[in-house]
Amino acid sequence: MTFEDASRKYELPLKVFHRLRELGLVKGDPLADGDIHAVEIVRAVYGDRVLLRAQLAKFDRATREDLVRTAELAKWERYVINRYRNHVTRDCGKLYVKQVADEIKRYYGVEKTSEVITRIYRLRKRAYNELRRRAK
């Protein structure tokens, strides 16, 4: 069974299966028969509120809020938000969208399309708005 099939069958995001492979809990794509047991265990505890509270309790409040605020973003999008946040708080001058687009191409392989540039502008605005709200 492929990761995509298992994702539909067990109602878990595809990212979960890739993470299980990184952790060595499943051997790879496609899933072996022995991997199904690990997936069933993860499905049983995935999203359990009691377990989530216990996991989140070890983080400080700002980290917890950041995890919730950026949960739906891709890795490169979180990078963009953090890049602008850190740049503003360190008062380092201007940070151009073109420069950030070049960085995400280099680090994440995301091509510089008009959609990506538009997304960077929106993420920059989001980061600035979050910083403005925190300052109040």
Q: Where are the domains of the chain?
A: 3-46, 60-135
What residue type is 7 in one-letter code? S
Is the pLDDT at 136 greater than 80, yes or no? no
Q: What is the CA radius of gyration of the chain?
A: 19
Higher pLDDT, 38 or 92: 38
Q: What are phi and psi of 96, to 5 degrees?
A: -85, 150
Sign of CA dihedral 69, 74, 79, 84: negative
Q: Could you tell me the pTM of the whole model? A: 0.76
Q: What is the pLDDT of residue 18?
A: 92
Q: Are 56 and 64 in contact (CB under 8 A)?
A: yes
Place of tokens 């403005």: 132
Per-residue DSSP letter, 31? P
Judge whether residue 132 has pLDDT over 80: yes
Q: What digits encode the pLDDT tens for the residues 52-98?
A: 999 999 999 989 998 999 989 999 999 999 999 999 888 778 899 99
Mean pLDDT along residues 7-34: 90
**pLDDT of 95:** 92
What's the CA dihedral at 126, 96, 94, 67 to 10 degrees? Answer: 30
Residue 98: C-alpha distances to residues 47, 105, 121 (Å) = 38, 11, 10
The confidence score (pLDDT) of residue 28 equals: 83
Cis before 30? omega within 30: yes
Per-residue pLDDT tens over the stretch 107-130: 999 999 999 999 999 999 999 998
